[in-house]
Amino acid sequence: MDEATSNLPAPDEVRAQLERMTASDDFIRSPQLGAFLRFVVESVLQGKSDRIKAYTIGVDVLRRDAKFDPQLDPIVRVEATRLRRTIDRYYAGLGADDAIRIDLPRGSYIPTFSRRPAFPGVTAHSSTLDRFWSIRLLLVAIVALIVALGVGLGVGGWWLTSGRYASIPVVANDSVATATAALKQDGFTIAKVSPVHSNQVAQGTVTGTSPSGRAAKGSAVTILVSSGPFTSIVPRVQGDKLPAAEAALQRAHLTYSIERVGSTQPVGTVLGTKPGAGTSWPQTKPVAIKVAEGLPVPNFGGQSLQVAQQWAAAHGANLQQQQDQNSQQPQGTITGQEPGAGSLYQQGETVVVNVSTGPAEVSVPDVIGMSVQEATQALQAAGFRPQVQSFGLPGASNDRVWDYSPVGQAPRGSTILLDVLPGNNQGGGGGF
């Protein structure tokens, strides 16, 4: 490895510098320039420099449609010029002491990365003697003066070049408290804590500092803290084929997984995404692409067993039944199934349905002779619904039950009919 290659910044250093730059005010005011810079930098770091084309930048970054023609629409060239000016302005101000420089050379959209000198150099200027001194004593004095000046210049040069500079501690992946303590211990002050997006560093963790590398002793340093990953809007891909949906998510810088589901749509058709189109979603969290792969399992819930049997016979499914003895549904009603409704069905697959055996029968309380109020309370406590049938003039406080139906046992929740006659004014249950 030659010296020039070994002096190139590592990818992590470049990404940290990218975060510092895009967190600066100029880039915050123009997020489109930040997206432009991030796209070309990440493409190079991922070994995909070949995709850095005017067309790709126009469509993927600047949101032009697929008909975009760089020869007719100069938007990419205009934004590249703005980006170069913004980079120069950053390094002339906030990034003057940054150790890593990211540039966008004129005539190219492929960025370059370089490591900057640790501190400004000093150029020595030699002076020319205009006269010849012939007197030796004066010459000795001149020599002494030159020596003194040399010592002074040496001390001054040391101060200008390295004496007043100190290395800024590397605090990436530290907590804010740890980073603050490390910076103060080395003599720096904290300018502010600035949130920045990061796809590599966990939320709340320090991503780096601005400036980084070396700075004048006692300088104010900004701590950059991850506010979580960048987010993108989930594109609409419903109805597309899988390759087109994958390309759309890649253009949005979103990761994805593929979920093959049952559907009546043609096999291979994209049914949508989870989360849905238009959702703002973290770039590091996969979006599920739902793809039609075959017929879905129907929803048998609430239907009779015969419905499931007919479907199984028509589609070659192996139908198995399991009794559900805790259901209040009528006997023969399907209360559950596995696999669930909408799942992908494979020919010959086993489908299990839970079938209600009907509500459990319980004893009906004997309420003959009770008042209507007493009978009602007893039946409701046992899980039944009383219904009064009066004979004579109802409504007296001493109305009594003289018969009820059904008797013995009945399914919980059944209606129990109460035959009621007006009671006599003497009270009690006489007359039954």
Tens digit of pLDDT for each residue in 232-257? 999 999 999 999 999 999 999 999 99
* Average model confidence (pLDDT) across the chain: 84
What pLDDT digit, counting tens, does each position of 175-209 carry?
Answer: 999 999 999 998 999 999 999 988 889 999 999 89
pLDDT at residue 427, as a whole number: 41
What pLDDT digit, counting tens, does each position of 380-426 carry?
Answer: 999 899 999 877 655 555 688 999 999 999 888 889 999 988 765 44
Q: How many other C-beta atoms can be found within 10 angstroms of the C-beta atom of residue 234?
A: 22
Half-sphere exposure of 328 (CA within 13 A, CB side): 6
* Strand-strand pairing, 361-363 and 409-411: antiparallel
Half-sphere exposure of 427 (CA within 13 A, CB side): 0
User: Cβ distance 188 to 234 under 8 Å?
Assistant: no
User: Cβ distance 37 to 23 under 8 Å?
Assistant: no
Model confidence band, residue 2 (pLDDT cutoffs 50, 70, 90): low
Q: Give the three-class secondary structure for 238.
A: coil
User: Cβ distance 403 to 419 under 8 Å?
Assistant: yes
Q: How far is residue 68 CA from its own chain's centroid?
A: 30
Q: Give the three-class secondary structure for 222.
A: strand
Sign (positive or negative) of CA dihedral 88, 90, 94, 98: negative
pLDDT at 260 over 90: no
Q: Give the three-class secondary structure for 311.
A: helix
What pLDDT digit, counting tens, does each position of 14-33 carry?
Answer: 999 999 999 999 899 899 99
Q: Which has the higher per-residue pLDDT, 133 or 370?
A: 370
Q: How many other C-beta atoms can be found within 10 angstroms of the C-beta atom of residue 351?
A: 20
User: Cβ distance 87 to 30 under 8 Å?
Assistant: no
Q: Which residues pair with 257 in a beta bridge?
A: 288
18 vs 231: CA distance, rounded Å: 17
Q: Which residue has the tokens 């059904």?
A: 406
In the sheet that 318-324 helps form, which strands lie side by side, from edge to edge?
318-324, 350-356, 334-338
* DSSP calls for 11-60: HHHHHHHHHHHHTSHHHHH-HHHHHHHHHHHHHHHTT-GGG--HHHIIII
Q: Give the three-class secondary structure for 153.
A: helix
Q: How many other C-beta atoms can be found within 10 angstroms of the C-beta atom of residue 188?
A: 21
User: Cβ distance 55 to 77 under 8 Å?
Assistant: no
Q: Where are the domains of the chain?
A: 1-116, 231-294, 305-356, 361-421
243 vs 251: CA distance, rounded Å: 12
pLDDT at residue 180, as a whole number: 95
| Average pLDDT of span 45-54 | 93
216 vs 192: CA distance, rounded Å: 17
Model confidence band, residue 329 (pLDDT cutoffs 50, 70, 90): confident
CATH topology of domain 361-421: Trypsin Inhibitor V; Chain A (3.30.10)
Q: For the chain, give percent helix, strand, coil, nearest 5.
A: 30, 25, 45
Read off the pTM: 0.44
Q: How many other C-beta atoms can be found within 10 angstroms of the C-beta atom of residue 231?
A: 17
Q: Please state, in angstroms and as integers, the Cα–Cα distance from residue 184 to each residue in 149, 181, 215, 277, following that order.
A: 36, 5, 14, 47
* Strand-strand pairing, 270-274 and 287-294: antiparallel
Which is nearest to 388 in space by CA: 362, 367, 363, 358? 367
pLDDT at residue 347, as a whole number: 77
429 vs 432: CA distance, rounded Å: 7
User: Would the CATH topology of 305-356 be identical to that of 361-421?
Assistant: yes
User: Cβ distance 101 to 113 under 8 Å?
Assistant: yes
At the top level of CATH, which class does the domain 231-294 belong to? alpha beta
Compute and round to an integer the Cα radius of gyration of the chain. 41
CATH topology of domain 305-356: Trypsin Inhibitor V; Chain A (3.30.10)
Q: Which of 23-37, 91-105, 127-141, 402-416 has the lowest mean pLDDT?
A: 127-141
| Average pLDDT of span 272-284 | 94
Element (H, E) at 166: strand 165-167
